[in-house]
Amino acid sequence: MDRRIKVAVLDDYQGVALELADWSTLEGKVDITVFRDHVSDPAGVVERLKPFEIVCVMRERTPLSRAIIEQLPNLKLIVSTAVRNASIDLAAAKERGIIACGTLYSSHATSELTWGLILALVRSLPREIASVRNGGWQISVGGDLEGKTIGIVGLGKLGTRVAAVARAFGMNVLAWSQNLTREAAEERGARFASKEQLFRESDIVTIHLMLSARTRGIVGATELKWMKPTAYLVNTSRGPLVDESALIEALKNRTIAGAALDVYNTEPLPESHPFRSLDNVLATPHIGFVSLEGYKIFYRGVVEDIAAWLSGSPVRVMND
């Protein structure tokens, strides 16, 4: 190869991309630029990425729309962490001869965080921790999980893992999704419920669906009004699954007890957003998939994909 290929690694917030994989296999073949900051403005994204032939994206942090892709004349390869990424316009990439590929993916970290958020909500952990740090002691009476009902919206791989833990806590497990059958729910350790029944009966509703045209806004004002005033909503999947305005209204009016959220319509979450200040919201910065082992799988896969592309070998082509 006469010259080195320019590679951009985007949105490495923690500055770990080069530490968690062996990039030495690409030595002498590529020049790598790691960006730890996030650029939201499309014009800024284009300006940043114009020199690069390979762009590595971390999940949906930086969307690559048609408008952006069409302004990147040097781009030849997009590498996404995981082989499914709805924020990349795959049709636009294909039309321009750009290969879009992905890495392997481990999903257990998200289900683990889901339970961390549920326990933090029910036992008021942020307030109690803050009290101790500020010199105080007990300030609230936490709730219990045993005997309570959890409603799981989406009983795929993640939802099934959440159901297994719920049963270990002695909870009643309800499940619903658009395609779920009674038989499939029972096989996965849950009791099938209608959508309305799930929202009305559950003490905790947790969402585990993929975002699509059919699921966008699947939890809206109607569903939130069905919920008990003592119930909590948990979303570690995708922000637009929930009608954000309706949720903010429900939280402000306390028609539900609270929410734990790891995903949002706009990320990073704007500084003035109500989810940052409402006292009945537990908000985390989309860390469901962010774990040491998960990152190792991602970045090692990125290196493998780049190496395969450079050698002319097959890569993990992304799914629509």
Res 286: pLDDT: 97
Give kind and range of the element (H or E) at residue 32.
strand 30-34
User: Tokens 């959440």 identify what position?
Assistant: 162
Q: Tens digits of per-residue pLDDT, 15-61? A: 999 999 999 999 999 999 999 999 999 999 999 999 999 999 999 99
State how far the Cα of 62 lies from the Cα of 77, in Å rounded to an integer.
15
Q: Tens digits of per-residue pLDDT, 210-248? A: 999 999 999 999 999 999 999 999 999 999 999 999 999
Is residue 208 annotated as a catalytic residue, yes or no?
no
Average pLDDT over residues 98-126: 96
- Report CA-CA distances (Å) from 60 to 235, 243, 262: 16, 19, 14
CATH number of the domain at 5-106+291-311, please?
3.40.50.720
| Of 70, 128, 249, 267, catalytic | 267
Structure tokens at 20: 């968690």
- pTM of model > 0.75: yes
Is residue 238 annotated as a catalytic residue, yes or no?
yes
For the chain, the average pLDDT equals 97
Contacts 24+ apart (CB under 8 A), 23-26: 23/303, 25/303, 25/307, 26/303, 26/306, 26/307, 26/310
Specify the length of the chain in residues.
320
| Of 238, 244, 304, 316, catalytic | 238
Question: Per-domain residue ranges for the chain?
Answer: 5-106+291-311, 108-283
Cβ distance 260 to 68 under 8 Å? no
Is residue 254 annotated as a catalytic residue, yes or no?
no
Q: Check for a shared fold between 5-106+291-311 and 108-283.
A: yes
CATH number of the domain at 108-283, please?
3.40.50.720
Q: Tens digits of per-residue pLDDT, 147-206? A: 999 999 999 999 999 999 999 999 999 999 999 999 999 999 999 999 999 999 999 999
Residue 127 scores a pLDDT above 50: yes
Structure tokens at 237: 């999947």
